[in-house]
Chain A
Amino acid sequence: MADFNYSVDADGVATICWDLPGKSMNVLSMEGMHELDAHIDTALSDEAVKGVIITSAKRDFAGGMDLNVIAKMKESAGDTPAQGLFDGIMSMHKALRKIERAGMDPKTLKGGKPVIAALPGIALGIGLEIPLACHRIIAADNPKAKIGLPEIMVGIFPGAGGTTRLVRKIGAMAAAPFLLEGKTVSPDKARAAGLIDEVVPADELQARAKAWVLNATDADIVKPWDAKGFKMPGGAPYHPAGFQTFVGAAAMIHGKTNGVYPAAKALLAAVYEGAMLPFDDALRVECRWFVNVLMNPSSAAMIRSLFINKQALEKGAVRPADVPDQSVKKVGVLGAGMMGAGIALVSARAGIEVVLIDQNQEAADKGKAYSAAYMDKGIARKKATAEKKEALLNLITATTDLDALKGCDLIVEAVFEDPDVKAEMTRKVEAVVGEDCIFATNTSTLPITELARASVRAEQFIGIHFFSPVEKMMLVEIIKGRETGDWAVAKALDYVRQIRKTPIVVNDARFFYANRCIIPYINEGIRMVGEGVAPALVEGAARLLGFPVGPLQLVDETSIDLGVKIAKATRAAMGDAYPDSAVDEVVFWMADEGRLGRKANAGFYDYDDKGKRSHLWEGLGEKYPQAADQPGVTEVQHRLMMAQVLEAVRAKEEGVLMDIREGDVGAILGWGFAPWSGGPLSWLDMIGAEKAVEICDGLTEKFGTRFTTPETLRDMAAKGDGFYSRFAA
């Protein structure tokens, strides 16, 4: 079956219609690329054909490239993967360039056939790069359509000419948000920005495309960069204006990415070098930098975690296969505090009926008002309408009446983190809801198996750990208690899919997965402060690793008293084995000083009257004087990194983590673990087990047993393998 269909109408207009069999969205494979190229050959050589429309039979044009193609290019080249990639990508350039030149005489620029891209909806990645090679791009006025080049989000950049063409089309400055931030926009905004040329009524798309093809002149189909005297919009690098742009861009990107994302660097290098070259040479240079990125282990790891495995988990890679669809129709949310209100919002946003319960009506209403405020913000930003707001609010019933929970097929309990309160709610609610209802508890610290004791149907009892703020954080951690059944797991996963978040499923253990890793990261940072390491160095080392926030800022955000609470509970649970007294000394002192974090406008950082973080608190230095001999940044980084990475390894060894993909995806989405690394286990694979063992052994000797090398790592070092070679599904 073909990906593209080719037809020619009575007026001599050929249509190449993209229609991937059996899929709702077009994605480009290498086979597809060959097909498209063959159809272009046919159209250009057929004298009866006057011009070409490239469009889609689906609601959308295309979602992007099948990124597995890249892996195939690498593999098929054996010992010379860079050559394989280079040749493969250059062949795409050649095909797209053929569209762009369309058979015209390269000197006179005459005699070519007009090629137009007609986009019915979404056009992302290669789905925009192909149109950019056409002579004109028109799009249907479909406000839901997203147009753009989001490649940078998964650690690569537009490498099929999109970078080189867009910069020439609209200038480096205007192209920056699309190339460097992966911004995607509606057709109207895409036209305003110059990504596409025209927006037309959806039902006129094909007719307008045809009319353009029949009326296009030779001049209409010459790209500015193929015309004589082309000048780079905004100036090439060594023109006065362009110089400022490029100097500024390098600094800005360097600072914003903390220097850890190879794709952003390579993209900018391709733009810079290409800007001083003729177009075909610029494409070749773009290809060289693109290959450079694809050969970088960071990019491979990012693609694997943020694209392939994230999608796989969202599509149910770990869902019990034999349980039928468990889509939620009516969810009961217990507790209308910050978490409950957020859970109600994301549920209603997914079209699920919500009953939002709290002890008094005022609290329940306040929880619902959170959704109203959210929609108001959307309306102000023209992302929502009053009708949508009303429809969403109509789905939420805010009440104190537990009877309203009747008919719910899922309960998400998000009351105060107290086992007794939770147990009481479990009993009360189970008495009201039907026997099929799944009961989920949203907790970040309490063991699920313990909480399940309050349930009369422990196999239907499960943990769903949301991250705050619920509507922003992409990860949901699903925790299986000892008796939790497949049905409950499927229910939780189907619910997470409905609310369009990314799930991981883990077994029950202290702090589950995410917090198990985050807490040691925070603790290691605090511990260093206690040791006299400069707090700025602790934070700076984390920043250099690409963590969105350093450990001290993180503890300010989550609050010191929460830290104290967790520490006390953990100490009580562990007794003499408790390893973090050195951390507690600092944290308890901070709490005594009233420096409870951002909410108190005073923590490890000082804050101004408006709550804006200003600088590290100088009082820290008085209590914990900075040592004259400061450690190197690498040692600080190793401590911060290994503190959390080793927890991920132990979670795998102990069976808390059942799938390494979840360990990596969960870390990046859950707490922003250095995305460039692909996640903690990918990072270990990247540095190699042997190196990891060496680091851990060194840290253990210097700082103690919390860095003891896990057996798995030692074994991997001995056998020369890694997590993905050993455990990949």
Chain B
Amino acid sequence: MTEAYIYDAVRTPRGKGKKDGTLHEVTAVRLSAITLNELAQRNNLSGHAVEDVIWGNVTQVGEQGACLARSAVLYSDLDERIPGVSINRFCASGLEAVNMAANQVKGGAGKAYIAGGVESMSRVPMGMDGGAIAADPHLAMKAYFVPQGISADIIATEYGFSRDDCDAYAVESQKRAAAARAAGRFKGSVYTVRDQNGLAIMDEDEMIRETTMQTLGGLNPSFKAMGEAMPGFDAVALLKYPHLERVNHVHHAGNSSGIADGSAAVLIGNKEFGEENGLKPRARIRATSKVGTDPTIMLTGPVPATERVLEAAGMSFGDIDLFEVNEAFASVVLRFIQAFDADTNKVNVNGGAIAMGHPLGATGAMILGALLDEMERSDKETGLATLCIGSGMGAATIIERV
């Protein structure tokens, strides 16, 4: 079968996803377009160079509505013959875009794709697109809907992670991210976001901060009120998890992923594409997976997604050198480490979304790029990226250097 290779990966720095964030002034379509331009320029792409742009994006309303992927292509310098498709697999959208592109390449549907995504959470807030899963009573009750934060707290309760466990993880994530940024480990992928006049707006991640157990200890749990008081999501959670007496609310702003703005893109193609364009493949996409899980605990998907992708690759957990597990919430990663008894020195070695932020539609592509950068830097052969996903899903990708 045809192989799919990663030729390159770029990303914006991650901006704080609030009104005082540096990328707040940049529209989502512009942020997408300049990321596409950056990737095209770095790889000298011109003309009808790729088959499609598969673009992860979660909140597809307002300026992110009406197929942002196509809008981004038209806003960019790419050839108008390249179409564009927006996809939504919630938090894994960016990785799912890569997986779809890779599998289309493997299946022979075109030589190359650009895959990635964007989320301008400061401009199009999460949840603006409504959703039957939460508001349609029949579905919400059938699926035992609770918000993600409650789900993260269920994971902590069910698998025995204390507030201290989660805080300690968060402190470590900040520490690793700060060290990585200081050492310039993100320089290979992160490009400087510039305005229409070429003036720099932002050149590195801005959410990383020094923190301690003490600082985090002072933060109030974020999901306690909605869980225990109004409207009482804990009661719904306990219907699904009747062996629990209560939900232990351990997550807060400091041990959950930050709201962020950002975009990332990955160039994927077959061997022939590289040869024709004089590009050297950086890694092979060995296997991909996606799974559905219990929607109430919602965020345990990385475990079965990893099992499935390992099976598809014919590999075992020990065959993987490095892992990127999206830090949606501390308990998500702690559960992953617990389930596989993973070596913490191999997981999220340069920090993650708790420190740097989680621009929903882009993160999947960002962590895959980060994984590849680190594999090259530390000369490792195999890497696995995985994310938990809203409504109870998981996705994973295994890459290996060539």
Q: Which residues of A come within 8 Å of B, CB atoms? A: 237-238, 243, 246-256, 258-259, 265, 268-269, 271-272, 534, 536-537, 539-541, 543-544, 615-616, 630, 633
Contacts and interface: CB of A to CB of B under 8 A. Distances in A.
A536 B232 contact: no
Interface stretch (B203-211, B233-241, B255-263, B368-376): B233-241
B135 A246 contact: yes
A615 B157 CA distance: 15
Contacts of A256: 232, 235
A247 B135 contact: yes
A254 B135 contact: no
Contacts of B235: 251, 254-256
Contact of A250 (B130, B141, B243, B245): B141
B244 interface: yes
A541 B242 contact: yes
Contacts of A271: 137
Given A250-B140, A254-B144, A255-B236, A615 B135 contact: no
Contact of B137 (A269, A537, A540): A269
Contacts of B236: 251, 254-255
B194 interface: no
14 contacts: A238-B135, A246-B137, A247-B140, A250-B134, A250-B137, A251-B231, A254-B236, A254-B239, A255-B233, A256-B232, A259-B144, A539-B245, A633-B242, A633-B243
B323 to A, nearest CB: 29
Nearest to B235: A255
Q: Is the interface of A mostly helix, strand, loop or mixed?
A: helix
Nearest to A245: B135
B136 A252 contact: no
Contacts of B146: 251
A252 B239 CA distance: 12
Contact of A252 (B135, B138, B231): B231
B116 to A, nearest CB: 29
A259 B242 contact: no
A256 B234 CA distance: 11
Interface residues of B, number: 26
B245 A272 contact: no
A269 B138 contact: yes
B246 A537 contact: no
A250 B232 contact: no
Given A256-B232, A256-B235, 14 more contacts: A243-B130, A246-B135, A247-B140, A248-B230, A248-B231, A251-B140, A251-B146, A251-B232, A254-B236, A265-B137, A265-B138, A540-B241, A540-B243, A540-B245
A258 B244 contact: no
Contacts of A633: 242-243
Contacts of A259: 141, 144, 239
A540 B136 CA distance: 26
B135 A251 contact: no
Contacts of B130: 237-238, 243
A256 B141 CA distance: 12
A331 to B, nearest CB: 43
A272 B135 contact: yes
B145 interface: yes
Nearest to A535: B245
Interface in B195-240: 230-236, 238-239
Among B130, B135, B145, B230, which residue has the most Cβ atoms of chain A within 10 A? Answer: B135
A243 B231 CA distance: 13
B87 to A, nearest CB: 22
10 shortest A-B CB distances, which residue pairs?
Answer: A255-B235, A540-B242, A248-B231, A268-B137, A250-B140, A537-B243, A536-B245, A246-B135, A250-B137, A252-B231
Contacts of B136: 237, 246, 250, 269, 272
Among A237, A250, A258, A541, which residue has the most Cβ atoms of chain B within 10 A? Answer: A250
A611 B177 CA distance: 48
B110 to A, nearest CB: 37
Interface in B130-152: 130, 134-138, 140-141, 144-146
Contacts of B231: 247-249, 251-252, 255
B245 A253 contact: no
Contacts of B243: 534, 536-537, 540, 630, 633
A380 to B, nearest CB: 27
A249 B232 CA distance: 10
Given A255-B232, A540-B243, A630-B243, A247 B134 contact: yes
